[in-house]
Structure 1
């Protein structure tokens, strides 16, 4: 698995062109997150690709006029980010579990 970070100007259809570059090759998209990043936007993709597909994807992404940067990241950074960004249970859930254990 490889992580890709693509920065782009948020114009009509840009995100779909970025995602289409992967899906037209039959590559599954198990994780996609798009978010604003300053004056641009950034999409993070997790893809299972080989070296040839990486080159093809970069070529396609840079061919999109509104893509300003595309880079590959490490799984280590991705795992740290997703652990932090995942929803956490409400703080009261931990308190209820502790009080149930204390009263037992």
Structure 2
């Protein structure tokens, strides 16, 4: 009779440990899934921000190129105006 009670207690203890392990596994899986969902959401937001910033960088790059071209033209005009050469513009009358 004593062996039977001991076996039942051991069986109950093993069952309890098994159930606790399953409960812990399920809870841990739920936490990990929630964490992964949050990370995926943040990743999507960051990718959208990166695309927006990339578009802004492209726009600024175009503006810088335009300003560089403008400055180059203005430097040419300034050097032409500072030189001793004169610019002659003639307008002909097309009616004659």
Shorter-normalised TM range: under 0.3
TM score, norm. by length of structure 2:
0.22
Higher relative contact order (CA 8 A, sep 6+): 1
